[in-house]
Structure 1
Amino acid sequence: MELWLATGNKGKVNEYKIGLKELADLKIFTQADIPSFTPRPEDGKTFLENAQIKARTLKAVKSGVWVLGEDSGLEVEGLNNLPGIHSARYAGPKAADSENIAKLLKMMTIRPIANRKARFVCSTVVFTPDGAEWHFDGVMNGTISTKPVGQLGFGYDPVFIPEGQTQTLAELGPGFKNQHSHRAQALKAFLEKLKA
């Protein structure tokens, strides 16, 4: 099975490699393996629309293979579900994870927000080799910590405490994340459909 991932995010690629390791004959490639590939702007209004943009753009140059595109992000209740689809560029188009986290924590202190409930959301679009379009979703609920803690993971992991836990995702590490995250849930649904 040849699967192409419509992402340039190394953290996501690693999570997919771990999450799909049970597929013995799987060969994973990414858009970075196509020298002249140019991703389209993620200008959708939802996570699903952005996932479709990514998957369709890659499918246009890689037909007849499995193609997976996903969009995910953080929604904070007290910020009217921001940063949402702008999670990766919350502090600017080329913002580092640390800059996005700093802006998030600053926005939560500008007008003190008592409600720190948040959730990670993932929308995944998979194109089969014959062109069928599959959709899978995942959600992980939690709260936002008052400061970043932990060195593992990427994105907002250092400030996200999953429901029922006392540590951030960046402290809990990849073992926990690869079992319980929003992306892991969508991936499990994909694997279940593959086996059906």
Structure 2
Amino acid sequence: MELWIATGNKGKLTEFKLLLNEIADLQVHHQGEIPSFTPRPEDGKTFLDNARIKAKTLRAVKNNVWVLGEDAGLEVEGLNGLPGIHSARYAGPKASDSENVAKLLKMMTLKPMNNRNAKFVATTVVYTPTGEEWVFTGEMKGKIATKPSGLHGFGYDPVFIPDGQTQTLAELGDGFKTQFSHRAQAIKAFLDKWRTTQ
């Protein structure tokens, strides 16, 4: 099975490969392997909009194969759902993960905030080789820590403590994420549907 993933994010790509490893003879490729590929701006209003933009743009140059696009982000209740679809660009268009985390923590200290509840959301759009669109979602609830901890993962993992845990995702590591993360849930739903086609 040949699957092309619409991402240039190395952290996401690593996670996708871990989550999809049960597919025998899977060949995973990504948009960075196409020399002339230019991603379209992620200017949608929802995670679904942006996931669809990514998948459709890649499918325009890679049809007749499986194509996957995903948009995911962090929604913080005390910030009215921010950073949301702007999660990857919260501190600016080319912001690093640490800059985004720093801005998030700063925004949460600008006013007294007792509500640190948050959730990670992922929406995945998959196009089958025949062009059928499949949509899957997943979410993981938790709260925002007061300071970063841990060395694993990427993005906001160092400040996200999943419900029922005392450590951040960056401390809990890949084993926990591949079982319980928002991305894991969306991919498990994809795998369930994919199995029905085999």
TM-score category of the 2 structures, normalised to the smaller one: over 0.9
- Partner SS state of residue 110, structure 1: coil
Q: Following the alignment from structure 2 to structure 1, what is the Cα–Cα distance between the partners of residues 166 and 130?
A: 45
TM-score by length of 1: 0.99
Shift, 1:142, TM fit: 0.1
1:167 correspondence with 2:167: yes
Unaligned runs of 5+ in 2: none
Q: Give the equivalent residue in structure 1 for 2:32.
A: 32
Q: How many equivalent residue pairs?
A: 196
**Structure 1: which 4+ aligned runs deviate by more than 3 Å?**
none
Unaligned runs of 5+ in 1: none
The Cα offsets for residues 133-187 of structure 1, whole Å up to 9 and x where unpaired, read as 0000000000000000001000000000000000000000000001100000000
The Cα offsets for residues 70-124 of structure 1, whole Å up to 9 and x where unpaired, read as 0000000000000000000000000000000000000000012110000000000
Q: Following the alignment from structure 2 to structure 1, what is the Cα–Cα distance between the partners of residues 159 and 62?
A: 37
Matching residue's letter, 1:177 = K
Matching residue's letter, 1:180 = F
Q: Give the equivalent residue in structure 2 for 1:130.
A: 130
Matching residue's letter, 1:191 = L
Q: Following the alignment from structure 1 to structure 2, what is the Cα–Cα distance between the partners of residues 18 and 102?
A: 28
Which runs of structure 2 are paired with 1:14-53 in the superposition (5 Å)? 14-53=14-53
Q: Give the equivalent residue in structure 1 for 2:60.
A: 60
* Residue identity (%): 73
Cα RMSD (Å) of the superposition?
Answer: 0.4
Q: Give the equivalent residue in structure 2 for 1:185.
A: 185
Matching residue's letter, 2:115 = N
TM-score by length of 2: 0.98
